[in-house]
Amino acid sequence: MRPTVFVVFVLAVASLFAGPSAFAAEPRELRGAATPWLWPRSGLEAVSATGPDDVWAAGYQGYQGIDWSVPGWGAGTIHVLPPKGAVVRWNGWSWKTYDLPGFGGDGVVREINAVAPDNVWVTGTLHPHDSSKLAPYVARWDGVTWHQVHKPESGCWPKKPAADSSGAWFACGGGLYRWENGQWSKQEVGAPNGCCMAVERISVVSDTSAWAASTWGILHWDGQRWTNVLKEEQTHWIDVLAVSDTDVWVKGRYSGGSAYTQVSRRWDGQTWRDVPHTPSNEQLIRTGDGNLWALQTYWGDLYRLDGDTWTEVTLPVPADGNVTGGTAIPGSPALWLVGKSKNVPIVINNVG
């Protein structure tokens, strides 16, 4: 075999077993970016994008609360003004803010999923500080306007939106639901009966392929039905990232010992293989340059897979702020992160 052919062969074989960061380019530095103009005491909870000039973020604005603490009595917050839900869109030059139908002036948009410029979904919470009025919210952008979507008759709370060209998948209560042609349908996924079953994340590859991480296994949609393709006793699957049907990353927690153990697997189209696990319950993000990232959306910690090691990345956030959501720009090395501080939203990216 000629030397050049042999080298190409070795690299091709190695790439089958190596993680995406093994040959990924060193990413650009993450820096603070332009933030949307929102009322004081605002923040961003989630971000999603279809391209460099179509980045969507969601959160809240205008919330006013007074924090109190009395030794021996406790601590809490007096809610003075409720938050107003916020959805913003970056067009490559500036941010635009949208009002949502049926949202009113009391709510938080918590999740956003953009799959095309005319196909964006949000979920949120109405009256988050009033337990007597607490309610879910779902809406869809059709390229012209936002439309509120009624909740399922079951009364479950739709979360984790993941859309394709004809509808969207949602985690809802203890099951997996589909919204299509104006109707909700609960999916048969073979979930066992019992307490606290849940779908944690859904990743769509195409109209005929989607993956879901759940407490009862890794599920796959083949265009006709959902099948449990990876079930391990005492493992709670919390995340799935499907780059393609031959490159799927999943992570979970194994509870068979004295403490939780992090578990990570990668599907290559034929076999599930062990891969380096992240430090905790992070969300996986893959950028177009092959880098794999893990974002802890509660504490705001970010890690990058460097060979076989997850390395923490220092983020330019203020002392009172943290990152809450992240997304890749399809086909690009760009990583976008959003978050919140006490008074203003946070936007960070590695765009040139």
Give the pLDDT confidence of 90-137 residue by residue, as tens digits. Answer: 999 999 999 999 988 899 999 999 999 999 999 999 998 888 999 999
**pLDDT (0 to 100) of residue 11:** 41
CA distance 83 to 81: 7
CB atoms near residue 250 (< 10 Å): 27
pTM of the model as a whole? 0.89
Q: State the pLDDT at residue 154.
A: 83
Q: What is the pLDDT of residue 222?
A: 97
Homologous superfamily (CATH) of 27-349 is YVTN repeat-like/Quinoprotein amine dehydrogenase (2.130.10.10)
Spell out, as residue ranges, where the chain has pLDDT lower than 70: 1-23, 64-68, 70, 77-81, 193-196
Domain boundary assignment for the chain: 27-349
CA distances from 169 to 44, 83, 107, 153 (A): 23, 27, 23, 16
* Residue of 352, 348, 351 whose CA lies nearest to 329: 351
- In the chain, how many H helices and how many E strands? 1, 30
pLDDT value for 341: 93
What is the pLDDT of the chain when averaged over all its residues? 90
pLDDT at position 10 is 39
Nearest residue to 120 via CA among 149, 93, 85: 149
Strand partners, 328: 335
> Distances in Å between the alpha carbon of 34 and those of 4, 41, 289?
47, 17, 23
